[in-house]
Every structure is written in structure tokens, then in C-alpha cells.
Amino acid sequence: MPTAIAAQPFRDFAEPASKKSRIPELDGLRGLAIAFVVIFHFFYFGPSAKLHLGVMRSLYVHFEQIIALGWSGVDLFFVLSGFLVGGILMDAQSSERYFKTFYLRRFFRIIPIYYVWILSFLVVATVAGSFVRAHTSGELPDHKDHVIRLFLFLQNFGFMNYSVLAGAWFLPTWSLAVEEQFYLLSPLVIRLLTRRALYAFLCLVIFLAPLLRLLIYYHIPARPNDLSLAYTLMPCRADALALGMVAAALWRNVRFRLWMNGTTALPYGLAAILFGGLLIMGKWFPSHEALQTVCYTWIDLFYVLILLLALAKPHGPIARIARIGWLGELGRVSYCLYLVHTGIRLLCQALIAAALKNHVGSLEGIAGNGLAAVLSYAIARFSWTYFEHPLLNKGHAFRY
């Protein structure tokens, strides 16, 4: 009922300490995001090129077309961050402990497990770096002097000369650097601007980000085998974060919530149109970087609409999918799983290559990636149970 929606108090959308205050739809969307990313990193454009001609290769090529836009799971993470963090800050805008509480909570959520992962690289590089290089295509030594830049969240500026091991260990953290830079700026923006001025500022960011991506794409080419600055710089990805914040502001407007709850054809029709565009991108232009540069905003709009539909229509198909139990479980452990999955994949590849005397076929590669996925989840589950969740409770001891 629309009146029931209007009567509901706003819940704290941060990672809450208690399960009762968690919003299952948001956990499920996080789970979808991490599933997209892991499947893409593990199974896209890999073994299909090596499979023998025939049915297996044909089937795998079709499978790759299905997962071609799995990288956009990062955009879903950005949208969720903008929505969650923006909403928390809007609700606490007048708090006397606004900055202190926000940054302490972010510290306990982000920093400890991230720094542990950096230190674990130093251990693995020292103990097994030569072994990994011997059984992968790696040639560069593991430059430990880069670690200071990682501690400062500067790895998205494109000046990291990664070895194979360091690349697998840290390359996914470019998006974490984007989010940390967003955490530094967003509290100031929300604290200082009125709601009307905030809408205007966010709309300007959404308009300028694609233009900045195009400018960088054509004038600052990416290095070989590296991510483009148009993909990794925070101002270039700010449209996803800004759209999430716009969604948070709209969701705090009772009239908008009533409208979303009462209307069906328009939001689902828009979602279908946006999804059709994603299918076109995935099937015909999966690697066309110039087109993707323009279309990131299209992808972000789709994810914003999916987020709002999941919350506004709890009995709808999107909310039902988001409440699937295993997706919620992946969402809870998604932070550590995102951090570790590519590093664990490389270690599994090196071990399998050593066991098979470096003669790794396509099927062995697929099996190895499957093993890496299981191990990555096991590590993430252990981390959530014994480290992240206790630290999250400690962070939430600080109140606005």
C-alpha cells in the first residue's frame, strides 16, 4: 500500500551491525555486482580462444557473450555506494558528530582488511614471487616500493607499473581508490549545499563525467595491458556515484516514494529500454572502449532504476531476485571477495601449471578458475565472520 510506504521510517542504509536492520534487497544487489565481476574476470575471453573447434568452443563463445558486460558490476557497486553513503550523510547532515562518525565508520569498514591484503602481498612476493613468475607469464619483479601508493589510495592515477603478481593482487583496487576519494569529498558537498544546490551540483557532475571520459580517451591513451584513465579516475566515474546520490535524495522524498510504489508501466518500461541497450553493447560492442566510455552513464542509469525498483516494489520480480539467499550471502562478503579473487586466481593458476609441468589446457584452466572462485569465497566468508563483522560492530559504536 502507498500509505504504508509513506509511514515507514528511513532505515540506516550503512552496513548495519545487526541483521535485523539490514535491507536484504541491497545485500542481493551487492551479490549480483560481485557475481558479475568474478564471473567476468574468471571466465571471459580466456579458455574459449584455446578450445578445440567444435561444439565446446561454440558454446563457450555464446557463454562469453552473455557475461561480456560483467565488468559493469563495478558500476553497480558505485551506484550502491552513492546511494548508501549519500543517504547516510543526508540523514546526518546537521549532526554535531557528522564528520567524526562518518570517517570512523568508514575506517573500520575499509581500512583494516585492505591493509592486511597489502601486507599479505609483501609476504607472498617474498616467499613465492619467483615461483609465481616461473609458472606464469610474469617477468617483472614485484616492486615493493609501490606499496606506499597503495596505502594512500593513489593506484587509480595510472602510474603503477605492476608485475603480474602485483597486478593480480592490486589491480581491482582501483575502484576502491575511487570510492575512498569519493568518501573524502562527499561529506563536504552534502554538508555545505542545500538540497536544491545539491541536485544542481550532482546533475552537473553527471553531465560532465562522460565528456571528461571522452577527452581523456582521445588525448591520454592507455598504456598496453593497462586500464584507461577514463575508466579509473574518480571524476571520470563520478556520474555513477552522483546518480546513486540523486537516487538517495529522491528516495527521501515521500511523494517520489509514493509515485514509485504506485506506478508500474513507466519504470519497468524504462528499465526494459535501458536493458535492451546493454544487450546491444554486450553482443556487438563488448570491447569498443570509445562507445563504452560514452555509455557508462547509460549503464549507471539502468542500475539506479533497478535499485529503486527493488526498494519501491518489494513484491516485484527485481526485489524477489535480490532477496535470493545466496545472493545476499555474496553481498555480505563482497568486499573481501572483490579484494582477493584475482590474486587467488593467479596463485591457483601457478599451482596448476606447476603440477602439470606448465602444460595447462583450456579445461584445466576453467577448472582452476572454478577452484579459485571457491577458495576466494571461503577466504571472504572467514574474513567476514572473524574480522569484518566484528570491526563493523566496532565502527557502529560511533553514533551520529
* pLDDT, tens only, 128-150: 888 888 888 765 555 556 778 89
pTM given for the model = 0.90
Q: What percent of the chain has pLDDT over 70?
A: 84
pLDDT tens-digit map of 216-243: 988 888 776 678 898 999 999 999 999 9
Taking alpha carbons only, the member of 191, 211, 197 closest to residue 94 is 191
DSSP 8-class letter at 9: P
- Whether 26 contacts 16, CB under 8 Å: no
Pick 76 or 353 by higher pLDDT.
76
CA-to-CA dists, residue 305 to 196, 237, 276, 316, 349, angstroms: 22, 18, 14, 13, 38
Helices and strands in the chain, H and E counts: 19, 0
- Whether 245 contacts 82, CB under 8 Å: yes
Q: How far apart, in whole angstroms, are the C-alpha atoms of residue 384 and residue 336?
A: 8
Pick 207 or 57 by higher pLDDT.
207
At residue 355, the pLDDT reads 87
At position 290, the amino acid (one-letter code) is A
At residue 143, the pLDDT reads 58
Q: What is the pLDDT confidence band of residue 64, given thresholds at 50, 70 and 90? A: confident
Pick 302 or 356 by higher pLDDT.
302
pLDDT tens-digit map of 26-55: 999 999 999 999 999 998 865 555 555 466
Residue 189 confidence (pLDDT) above 80? yes
Residue 1 confidence (pLDDT) above 60? no
At residue 375, the pLDDT reads 97
In this structure, what C-alpha cell is assigned to residue 213?
Answer: 571520459
Residue 181 confidence (pLDDT) above 90? yes
Pick 11 or 35 by higher pLDDT.
35
What does the mean pLDDT of the chain come to?
A: 86
Residue 286 confidence (pLDDT) above 70? no
What sign for the dihedral angle of Cα 129, 132, 135, 139?
negative
Q: Which residues 6+ apart lie within 8 Å of 234 measured at CB?
A: 156, 177, 178, 181, 182
371: helix, strand or coil: helix
pLDDT tens-digit map of 332-348: 999 999 999 999 999 99
Residue 2 confidence (pLDDT) above 60? no
Q: How many CA atoms lie within 13 A of 371 on its CB side?
A: 13
pLDDT tens-digit map of 91-108: 999 999 999 999 999 999
Residue 6 confidence (pLDDT) above 90? no
